[in-house]
A and B are shown apart, each in its own frame.
Chain A
Amino acid sequence: MSAKLQALLASRRARQIAVVLVAVAVGSIPLFGSHFTAFIFTLGIVYGLAAMSLSMLTGWVGQASLGHAAFAGAGAFATAKLQTHGWPFLAIMPVVVGAALLFSLVVGIPALRIRGLQLAVATLAFGYSAERGVFEQMGGGYSNDTVLHRPHAFGVDFLNDKNYYLLCVAIAVVLTLLAANLRHRTMGRGMMAVRESETVFSHVGGNVASYKLAGFCISAVYAAIAGVLLGGLIANINKDLFNVQFGFFILAVAIVGGMGSLVGPYIAGLAFAWYPQLFAGVTALQYWTYMIGGLGMVLFVLLLPGGLVAIPKRAGELLLLLKGRFAKAPEEGAAEDTGEVEIDLRGTILAAPSENGDSPTTSIRSLAGARSRAEVSLIEGETGSSRRMRGRQTLGSGGSGGTLLEVEGVSISFGGTIALSDVSFSVQPREVHGLVGPNGAGKSTLFNCVTGIYRPQEGRIFFKGTDLTGLPSYRRARLGIARTFQNINVLPNLTVLENLMVAEQAHWSGNLLRDALGLDAHHRQEKVRLAAEANLEFLGLAHLRDAVAGDLSHGTLKLVELARALTSEPEMLLLDEPAAGLSMQESERLGEVLRQLRDELHLTVLIVEHDMALVMGNCNTVTVLDYGRVIASGAPDDVRNDPNVIAAYLGTTHEEVLAQ
């Protein structure tokens, strides 16, 4: 019974219905109450909308703004100003949206190009300057208020507080639904990927700067609309309504509600709107409002991370703790997976459910399973991966027959250390090309030059004849270069499937309007999902589809990275030490996968690896780096016997080798 209840509570649909029912119940209270109740509720909704704009910015793109009050103020003052010129309300709204976009671009473009908290400081300065400058002049001191008139539209009298309340609720609901649409489509997924790892996002073809900017612009527009609604509610607006402290205030509302949540901010907004009423009429307590509010905020952050929306989760944990089952709680997700494993693995040789995804052994067994399954699918010609393969064959043959990657005289140094010096070599299509050399030889640096993390000081790199020099990482990914990282680089708080689906960026960069309105997206989302699932299947990860990436083991995550790289449908795959930490047996299996990538998926692979058996056994060509220079390049057998290579690996000089 309790298990059933838990399952019911856990089901998303049930939760959504519950949220909607409660929201409708609470939301209709003002209709039966006084006009003052309606006023307070409207205030709460408007606070909630403003806070939701921040919740999206921080919870999705991972940026913070301390100056959102300025966007709200800009919306309100622009409306009031245009009203004095006789503009109708509905005609003003596009101007408000345009103004918010313009201002957010002015603030965002310089601030978002740099990683870190620059946006927080820039928006704070923006808020300060807006309050003391523009707002001061437009609606300065208390005697100089500007009046914002509520709209007269559709024959409804919005001067009636209850009608105005309904208008605000309707606008908030529409904006929230648009945001919810965005969240589960390309744009939303991309924004969360930016929050999790900018490196990963850019290496699957995502434009980090434009996604951050898009998140900031949407957020600013929402804040501006909230500002107009707040102005209409209060009617007399002045600079103190939209001062820097108000920006701090809505940030507090957003944190209390729960960052990233779309519902939480409204709950918190209503709470904050009611809060001062507790002190109303008691003059002696007036000054305590600040302090108690402040202390409450501190305690809230300390004791309830995740905000109000996290309460059910915390309560659930507490319940488990009381039942003495707390130790099992973290396995909840794994338990769900296990069920799927059993279904998924009928007749295959995958890991026992109990070991599921927890050790490198398991992951490599999964590899073996994947191989056998891939073979089966090749014969049957049924599964997604085989369909993909056929697609790739036609795609691959369209390319030029010549060199795929051409590295020409690349040099780079860090401080005084020369990492790469005049490195030249080329990679032919559909080969597995090994890049080996002692530690510190410059292999990963070379990878970073190819994928655009570093820009070489000298030399050029061509891919399919295109000069890569100066292209940002995401453009290179869109040309068909995908990579895995030496140190695992995944999006830890997203599911495995979402991690893979982010790779859609290589071919489709998302469309704000379409995603928000849900137009045409379903078909595309479905296509990406199928491709991602096919790759999970191919690498034997299908049972981990909905697992949260951060919970998985190192070995499994290496496969997830590979699957992500494949999902971006690259022509060339760069693998940085994929066998590190694997046993000899396991790396033999990895070799089989490599050959499969080349022979069945027709990919070109450039691989950095220390495991010589793997490299010599599976590569068509091997290039050896030592102290940043190419000391040998050719077929594995030639390279193996090259005296320079022997010298580099055994630590003797060339002359000594010759002398022997």
Chain B
Amino acid sequence: MDFKLLFQTILSGLISGSIYGVLGLGFVVTYKATRVLNLAHGGMAMFLAFVALSFLHRHMNYGLAMLLTALAAIAMGIMIDWTIMRPLRNRPPLDAAVASLGLLLTLQGLAVIIFGAQEKVFPAAVPLRFISVAGFNFSYPQLLGFGSVAVAAVLIGVLFKWTRAGTAIRAYVENPESARGLGVSPLYVSTIAWSVAALLAALAGVMLAPLTLLDSLRMPLYSVKALVAALLGGLNSLSGALAGGILLGVTEAYFQGYIHVRDSVNYLPFGLVVLALLYQGFRGSRRLARAA
């Protein structure tokens, strides 16, 4: 077996997997805090990538463009929360899911109207150069990608564990009634959650765009990968979603590189979901036995 090839395969799996992980993370943030199954998450990533691209097309400095995109993401999150999610707060959960579906279509339509229907090339942040460590090649974009994901994960962790907003959100997720009694506003929790989710969507979008062509119809389908990543992590766990995404990415890369059955990689999302559900069911019945 060629270990170098295996290493490169795993490495490329890790990079796409960490993007899935960031998508899953964004999905879990809103699901956890507001119980909304956000089907527009991939669409948000797509739209924000287009926004970033339009900044870059104005020959803006890459860092500045990313900063403005982040601001645009926060604005988008707040807008989605205020106009759609808040009014639907006390309605059956499926209503919000369907509204998010409408949002997905709206974003796709808007992207085509504003940015055009043809696929766009998204420039990479750093040139495609390699550094070699012990005979293994790492590319600059890969390193930057890992760095960004790691920073984002740490920031999210800090936000939830050590800030007042994070504590409020965790309290609200744990027990909405008593959190409200202690002065946590559900509206505040929801606004924070949607802003953070939009930021994560933007990050996933600009990481994904250089790897594929930016296209308003295809990228929203990454919602599927986001949901699968989130489900692999148990649908409720932030770190689980990240790990789930990486698992999905690495398995995909392995299938693409080593399993030469046509389209086999496309059966992966469903296969993994079934395995995860079987495992959860098994663990659930054991948990019942332990009654913990």
Contact = CB atoms under 8 A, between A and B. Distances in A.
Interface of A: 58, 64, 66, 106-107, 110-111, 113-114, 116-118, 120-122, 124-126, 128-130, 132-133, 136-137, 244, 248, 251-252, 255, 259, 287-302, 305, 412-415, 454-457
B288 interface: yes
B247 interface: no
Given A302-B84, A454-B288, A125 B98 contact: no
Contacts of A414: 291-292
A294 B281 contact: no
Nearest to A136: B263
B266 A66 contact: no
Contacts of A289: 109
Contact of B113 (A66, A288, A296, A301): A288
A292 B273 contact: no
A314 to B, nearest CB: 14
A132 B252 CA distance: 14
Contact of B270 (A117, A126, A290): A126
Contacts of A295: 102, 106
A457 B290 contact: yes
A213 B197 CA distance: 33
B79 to A, nearest CB: 12
Contacts of B284: 113-114
A128 B37 contact: no
A455 B268 CA distance: 35
Interface stretch (B89-97, B140-148, B163-171, B203-211): B89-97
Contacts of B281: 110, 113-114
Given A137-B263, A252-B101, A412-B291, A294 B106 contact: yes
Contacts of B278: 110
A244 B113 contact: no
A294 B274 CA distance: 31
Nearest to B105: A294
Contacts of A122: 231, 270, 273-274, 277
Interface string B214-241: 0000000100100110110001000000
A124 B273 CA distance: 10
Contacts of B268: 129
A152 B39 CA distance: 41
A121 B227 contact: yes
Contacts of B269: 125, 128-129
A287 B112 contact: yes
Contact of A120 (B37, B112, B262, B263): B37
A289 B113 CA distance: 11
Contacts of A412: 291
A431 B109 CA distance: 70
Nearest to B228: A125
Contacts of B87: 302
B45 to A, nearest CB: 16
B266 A118 contact: no
State the main secondary structure of chain B at its contact with A. Answer: helix
25 contacts: A64-B94, A106-B274, A110-B277, A117-B235, A118-B235, A120-B97, A121-B231, A122-B277, A125-B227, A126-B270, A251-B98, A287-B117, A291-B110, A293-B109, A294-B103, A294-B104, A295-B106, A297-B99, A297-B101, A299-B102, A301-B95, A301-B102, A305-B95, A413-B291, A455-B288
A107 B102 CA distance: 26
Q: Considering the complex of A and B, which 8 residue pairs feature the smallest CB-CB distances, nearest first?
A: A291-B109, A294-B105, A297-B102, A290-B109, A132-B266, A294-B106, A129-B270, A298-B102
B251 to A, nearest CB: 13
B103 A128 contact: no
Contacts, number: 160
A394 B108 CA distance: 69
A302 B230 CA distance: 27
B108 A294 contact: yes
Given A114-B277, A118-B235, A301 B98 contact: yes
Nearest to A305: B91
Contact of B266 (A106, A117, A136): A136
Interface in B105-136: 105-110, 112-113, 117
Contacts of B12: none
Given A129-B266, A294-B106, A297-B102, 19 more contacts: A111-B277, A113-B277, A113-B284, A114-B280, A117-B235, A121-B230, A122-B231, A122-B274, A124-B224, A126-B270, A244-B224, A248-B101, A252-B101, A290-B105, A294-B104, A297-B105, A302-B88, A302-B99, A414-B292
A394 B277 CA distance: 47
Interface string B68-100: 000000000000000010011001011111110
Nearest to B106: A294
A120 B262 CA distance: 27
B3 interface: no
Nearest to B276: A110
Interface string B244-273: 000000000000000000111011111111
Contact of A301 (B88, B108, B228, B274): B88
A133 B84 contact: no
A287 B112 CA distance: 7
Contacts of B280: 114, 118
A74 B267 CA distance: 15
Contacts of A288: 109, 113
B1 interface: no
A297 B230 CA distance: 26
A129 to B, nearest CB: 4
B103 A125 contact: no
B292 A415 contact: yes
